[in-house]
Amino acid sequence: MASENGELTGAGYINHHLTNLTYGQLPDGSWGFAHGAQEAADMGFMAIHVDSMVWALGLGVVMFCIMRSIAKSFSSDKPSKVQCFVEALFDMAQDSKDSTFTKDAKNEWIAPMALTIFVWVFFMNLMDLVPVDWIPELAKLAGVGYMKIVPSTDVNIALGMALAVFIMILYYSLKIKGPIGFTKELALQPFGKYLIPFNLVLELVGLLAKPLSLGLRLFGNMYAGELIFILIAMMYSASLSLGVLGGVAQLGWAIFHILVITLQAYIFMMLTIVYLSQAHEKH
């Protein structure tokens, strides 16, 4: 929101930076981009966060191009430093898979998928280190009112990825255990055949909690980190002394946040492996 003289207030500054470029149905029935946070909220479920979608898919394409370039230049005689780094990442994903899956549960797709998840989520999280005003201000010059560049701070992106993992959980549960085996697992655990309704409630809650915990954990941590960057950025407009303090605080938080963005990508990868490992287990 703005003050009476048209200047953006602190609350308005935060609200602006936390609002997505949203496309949906406007109050007059036409379709277009929202002109504010309230209008975006009123668009409902069918609205699309265009900036989150573009940045998420764009970073996915960047990741694909980088990995493809490294794969094409692969050399067993004279490996480059980048190749060695990627091989170390793949070994990490493979070791994580091997330590979680049982010997009987063999699936060669899990480690490559885990590596893809880790790198993609890391790339999306990494955008949080870009100064909060740079790209939104450039977007303003191009006539775009809102621009959020960190896809993982959008709950729709985080839960969308978690939903994809959930679909894989259901697929492998049905494939490995069969429809009857999977149904028995939900109905007969943990208290046996005499408490089937109670078992179903417990198991279904546990099953549905997996994608929710997976997506909301990533979203919550990254959203909080983004909000702290925005609050620190507000110090620059207060006074010279607070601006200097804000610069120091921003540098310190950015250095610490490198650990956060890496850890969140790793946790998302590991939880995916753990959940898929449980889907492969026969009880």
Residue 180 belongs to what domain range?
10-280
Per the structure, how many domains does the chain have?
1
Taking the C-alpha atoms of residue 185 and residue 201, their distance in angstroms, rounded to an integer, is 12
pLDDT at residue 104, rounded to an integer: 64
Q: At 48, is the secondary structure helix, strand, or coil? A: strand
Confidence at residue 7, expressed as pLDDT on a 0 to 100 scale? 54
Whether 186 is in a domain gets the answer yes
Span 192-205, pLDDT tens digits: 787 888 889 988 99
Q: What is the pLDDT of residue 283?
A: 65
Question: Model confidence over 96-147: pLDDT tens digits?
Answer: 988 888 766 678 889 899 999 999 999 999 999 998 889 998 999 998 989 9
Q: For the chain, 283 residues long, give each residue's pLDDT as a single digit of tens.
A: 444 444 567 788 888 888 999 999 998 889 999 988 889 888 988 899 999 999 999 999 999 999 899 888 888 888 888 888 888 998 999 999 888 887 666 788 898 999 999 999 999 999 999 988 899 989 999 989 899 999 999 999 999 999 999 999 999 999 988 899 888 888 888 787 878 888 899 889 999 999 999 999 999 999 999 999 999 988 887 777 878 888 898 899 999 999 999 999 999 999 999 999 988 887 6
On whether residue 140 sits in a domain, the answer given is yes
Specify the pTM: 0.90
Q: Report in angstroms the alpha-carbon separations of 137 from 17, 91, 134, 234, 272.
A: 10, 41, 5, 15, 36
| Residue 3 covered by a domain | no
Residues 93, 272 contacting (CB under 8 angstroms): no
Per-residue confidence (pLDDT) for residue 44, from 0 to 100 = 86
Residue 5 lies in a domain: no
273 in a structural domain: yes
Please indicate, yes or no, if residue 2 is contained in any of the structural domains.
no
Active site residues: 213, 217, 221
**Strand 31-33 relative to strand 22-25, pairing:** antiparallel
- For residue 268, tell me if it sits in a domain: yes
**How many C-beta atoms lie closer than 10 Å to residue 143's C-beta?**
6
What does the pLDDT read at residue 199? 87
**pLDDT (0 to 100) of residue 45:** 86
Residue 1 lies in a domain: no
Cα 275 vs. chain centroid, distance in angstroms? Answer: 17
pLDDT at 63 (0 to 100): 93
